Structure 1
């Protein structure tokens, strides 16, 4: 099965975002980001993922890798006319965090 260029681009973006990062002595670890902070996840800025729809399974996979937690549930939610996946995750610290994933772009909020 051939791998599409879009999929290769997606893998490169994910490797860049989630791969090893240089650490500065002046940097403090981020323990919690306020809900008002939006963290866009670049997924080739298209409505599709390798020629397929961005599904709830894709959203769970992206959030699982980003949070390094255990996905507890994924629900499709419509708020203010916009559809998104609400992904509930149990973090290693024991905290439960909810991520909102855009159903069109895969951007995480």
Structure 2
């Protein structure tokens, strides 16, 4: 197992333990706290720690019981709003629902 996998599992645990302290729409603060913890504990760069934290938040929000990197990479798209600096995790089913509204055609519907 890779070092990042252990950091990822730690991030999932951190987010599960602290998600109740943040209202919906305030996930960026939770990601920042988790990333800071990972940077210290695993000596990661800020960018790597943030990336792992975002993926872990997506896993927790999707309600998965165990981390699955293939699902996180292949079936969830993470979008950051550049103006609001908010992060959204969109699943394949969400993308299928909203794509026609924005005139987007998906290759694999």
Higher helix share: 2
- TM class by shorter chain equals 0.3 to 0.5
| TM-score normalised by L of structure 2 | 0.35
| TM-score normalised by L of structure 1 | 0.35
Higher strand share: 1
